[in-house]
Chain A
Amino acid sequence: MKIRTIILFALLMPALAHAKLNVVATTPELAAIARDIGGNRIEVVSLAKPTEDTHFVDPKPSFVVKLARADALIEGGAELEIGWLPPLLENARNSRLATDAPGRIAIAPGVQLLEVPTALDRSKGDVHAMGNPHFMTDPLNAKIAAQRIADGLAKLDAAGAETYRSNLAKFNTRIDAKMIEWHKTLAPFLGKRIVAYHNTWPDFGARFGLKIDLFLEPKPGIPPTPASLAEVIAKMKAEHLRVVIVEPYQNRKTADAVAIATGAVVVPVAQYPGGVKGTEGGYVELIDYLVNAIAKGLAQ
């Protein structure tokens, strides 16, 4: 026991010397942006894995430990994490992460969410009351996220405020430059319709002028049925739709079957850096991959 304590202290010493902020992000893309903004002043971990369905994340003891020790929690905050984050927080009992504490950094309140339902009707499927929670697929929303993260970190660590501000400026410049490139890549496909497994992509579609509004799921969160698939296949044939996008945790077999029936291609995509090979670098690398993979699919 003593030895373990000593080792623990030895491991903690460098961290204590720098007094880095302990930051927990619910999802990997928020962690990636936090890393860009916080640099070496913060230590970031993501609870969800990039290949996981973030509507359902299986809790592990380390999640509670991480939340108990965290100085800040970054969450999407649009009910995406509602199934698993509250019980974890309840167990972690960390007052720094209370709903109104400065350590709780939620992105959604700063974002104009799409698809906000006028009336909550459970018969419409797994609908989120605040709007579509997958808003981070729009790079301009990522800029808002970066801003909110920089503000939040500056509040917790005033000495680092300057670093956070300059890192935020760097991030924004990088996104702005890339936006031109991304728009150019997708320009030939303006207005094209793409089929997705789940309604994850309205923000991405709206930003780049793509219609990603035909889904393999009959209703959000409800697995495809034979009738719903037949309907999708008929629509795809009638409109000559050529691309089906599918995320790592979604049923690839269903997408493949639909693609074979319609002569379309299946393009693997992900909402999170690391969800698809080659996107491990961070948020910009992820959008780079998405734009190029979808453009390539549409060009075929």
Chain B
Amino acid sequence: MIESFQIMKWPLLACLLLPGLLVYLGLHIVEREIIFVDLALAQVAALGNCVAILLGHDAHDWQTYAWSASFTVAGAGIFTVTKTKNLRVPQEALIGIVYVVAAALGILLLSRSAEGNEELRRTLVGDVLLVRPVEVGKTFGLYAVIAVIHFVFRRQFLALTLNHEPPRGARWWDFLFYALFGFVVTSFVQIGGVLLVFSYLIIPAVCGKFLANSLPVRLLIGWLVATLGSVVGLWASYVGDWPTGAAVVCTLGVVLLLVGMTSCFKHWRNNYKKEKLT
């Protein structure tokens, strides 16, 4: 027991502390119907890494982080500009295109460079099992700052997401939203990989939507789901000796299935009651 805790301590901390912000941002993302924007931003950031590698920087040089960060901001710019009222081209399509083109560009760039594939793989497939204490600390610090910004300006961000009266300078608020979101996603991708970051964003938010109508309740449900998924997933990974990130993702999937079934049952029962009354 003590040994298992020793080994799973840092992954557990990472999976308990960090998804808090991811779940909240997930509610925004699901509401805005831009589900795959996280994957696209992660891929754009990885493209920045590719460029840095091509220029001869090491994966952990500050220049590499700078390239990755500036590509993330550029990606945020793209998504801000492409958010239009023009419904003939849905934004989801553009997000998909950005993802695919960024991925393909990365392959092109690295086909000429050394150790490129290895590095690209590493930037996209983090492994939460081997997360370092320093990484957890740094990322938690970053998330705390971003959470404060989101809390202070919650009215502006929520108005944009829920399509209420947009605040003044809506474009800039949008840009800030995407840029912050980009940093949150890319820093977690380094720790847990793309699959895990996507799951923490979307699955708890969808569970919240299934079960509740008000935002605070949805957020609470989302946090509960994320915590449950993390603890059970890490435990399953240890006991069954499965790759850690994938185990957590599958656990979250099972939780969603249970929540979906509960919600269906509730609907069915409500309808049945109504029929009886009439």
B111, A222: Cβ atoms closer than 8 Å? yes
Known: A60-B241, A61-B241, A221-B118. A91 touches B130 (CB 8 A): yes
Known: A59-B127, A61-B8. A126 touches B118 (CB 8 A): yes
B7, A64: Cβ atoms closer than 8 Å? yes
A62 to B237, CA, bound (A): 9
Chain B: CB-nearest residue to A4: B1
Chain B 217-257 interface 0/1 with A at a Cβ cutoff of 8 Å (1 = within): 00000000000000000000110011110000000000000
Query: Quick check: is B267 within 8 A (CB to CB) of the other chain?
Result: no
A61, B114: Cβ atoms closer than 8 Å? no
Write the nearest CB–CB distance from A196 to chain B, whole angstroms: 18
Size band of the interface chain A makes with B: 20 to 34
A92 to B241, CA, bound (A): 15
A91 to B244, CA, bound (A): 14
B130, A222: Cβ atoms closer than 8 Å? no
Write the nearest CB–CB distance from B100 to chain A, whole angstroms: 19
A225 to B114, CA, bound (A): 14
Query: Quick check: is A118 within 8 A (CB to CB) of the other chain?
Result: no
Chain A 42-81 interface 0/1 with B at a Cβ cutoff of 8 Å (1 = within): 0000000000000110111110110010000000000000
| Residues of A with C-beta under 8 A to B1 | 1
Interface of B is mostly: helix
Sample (29) of A-B pairs whose CB atoms are under 8 Å apart: A1-B1, A56-B121, A59-B127, A60-B129, A60-B237, A60-B241, A60-B243, A61-B8, A61-B241, A62-B241, A64-B129, A65-B7, A68-B3, A83-B122, A87-B132, A90-B130, A90-B132, A91-B10, A122-B56, A125-B114, A125-B115, A126-B114, A126-B115, A219-B114, A221-B114, A222-B114, A222-B116, A223-B117, A225-B111
Please give the residue numbers on chain B whose beta carbons come within 8 Å of chain A beta carbons, in ascending order: 1, 3, 6-8, 10, 56, 111, 113-118, 121-122, 127, 129-130, 132, 237-238, 241-244
Q: A59-B127, A60-B243, A61-B7 are in contact. List 13 more A-B contacts (CB 8 A).
A: A55-B118, A56-B121, A59-B243, A64-B129, A83-B118, A83-B122, A88-B130, A90-B130, A122-B114, A219-B114, A221-B115, A222-B117, A223-B111
Please give the residue numbers on chain A whose beta carbons come within 8 Å of chain B beta carbons, in ascending order: 1, 55-56, 58-62, 64-65, 68, 83, 87-88, 90-93, 122-127, 219, 221-223, 225
Q: Which 10 A-B pairs have the closest CB atoms?
A: A122-B114, A87-B130, A62-B241, A64-B7, A61-B238, A125-B114, A126-B115, A60-B241, A59-B129, A59-B130
